[in-house]
Structure 1
Amino acid sequence: MIQHKKQNTVENLKERLAGAKAIILVDYKGINVEQVNKLRNLFREAQVDYLVQKNTLIKIALNELGINDLDVYLQGPTAVAISKNDEVAPAKVLVKFVKDVMEEADFPKFKGGLISGKVMNQSELQEIAQLPSREELLARLMGSMKAPLSNFVNVSQGIIRKFVYAVDALAKQKAS
């Protein structure tokens, strides 16, 4: 009975982890139930799956999916944040939570993670969380692409404007 339940839990974990763009392991030690609920809500809003499970079951599920590089991080209390849509969402949500709710406390914190197939340690995840969002980067890119066109239009209008002023001045001079 217990073995069957564990097997079901591992299968459920595998389903949740399969196809993830980001798997972040979090040390959640030190936060209370109210804070955990706030964190879960923030993750839910960002479409990030957040769960707490035994390290051995997480390890089995990851290993069965061919992910062995995170085994070293599976010690002590571990929660898993999984995103199938946005690679940086879990890291951004956790950093925002620590800043806003925990008032810059030293917990919860990253243990390690896997983003787009690359294993990342705690400091690398912190750096990723500081990156601008995808939408912000796209807006910057569009602004950069638009700037030369805008400058060209402005210069062209200036030339046309000067030509019109010159023709207008000639017309006034001939009229008088």
Structure 2
Amino acid sequence: MKKQEKIFEVENLTAKVKEAKSVVVADYRGIKVSQMNQLRDKVREIGGELQVVKNNLFYRALDQNNYEIEKTKLDGPSLALFANNDEISPLKALANFGKTLGGLLPFK
């Protein structure tokens, strides 16, 4: 990713974090593409958004919004959930989906 693309991505993530009522990060290791698409659709239906994020860029976006997180927590493949309309329903959907997958999608 070129520097200009990284700057644009950080700005985009910063705006999403600022607008969201809540933000959760999960590890998506072991999730199939079809399962990920199914989860994205379900979360989108209830007013949320899922995005696979680059850890360093997401850390910068959180920092620019004055959120504190240990950098070591953002390790491995990360999936960000932005709850835009309802703070709770998208989080429940993510947690329930993780349960159906046998404990996959641990929150970071």
TM-score by length of 1: 0.57
Separation (CA, whole Å) in 2 of partners of 1:14 and 1:70? 17
More helix by share: 1
Which protein has the larger Cα radius of gyration, Structure 1 or Structure 2? 1
SS of equivalent residue, structure 1 residue 107: coil
Tell whether the 8 Å contact from 1:24 to 1:90 is kept in structure 2 after alignment.
no
Please provide the CA RMSD for this pair: 1.6
1:46 maps to 46
Q: Which moved more, 1:44-53 or 1:87-96?
A: 87-96
**Deviation per CA, 1:79-137, whole angstroms, max 9, x where unpaired?**
1001122221232011222344x2xx1202211xxxxxxxxxxxxxxxxxxxxxxxxxx
Tell whether the 8 Å contact from 2:83 to 2:91 is kept in structure 1 after alignment.
no
Matches within 5 A, 1:33-72: 33-69=33-69, 71-72=71-72
**Deviation per CA, 1:8-66, whole angstroms, max 9, x where unpaired?**
01111111111322110011100110000001011101111110011000001111111
SS of equivalent residue, structure 1 residue 17: helix
Matches within 5 A, 1:8-157: 8-69=8-69, 71-100=71-100, 102=101, 105-111=102-108
1:147 maps to none
Number of residues of Structure 1 aligned to a counterpart in Structure 2: 108
% identity of equivalent residues: 35
The code of the aligned residue for 1:63 comes to D
Separation (CA, whole Å) in 1 of partners of 2:85 and 2:38? 21
CA distance change for structure 1 residues 92 and 6 in 2, over 3 Å: closer, same or farther? same
Runs of at least 5 residues in structure 2 that lack an aligned partner in the other structure:
none
Which has the bigger relative contact order, CA under 8 A and spacing at least 6?
A: 2
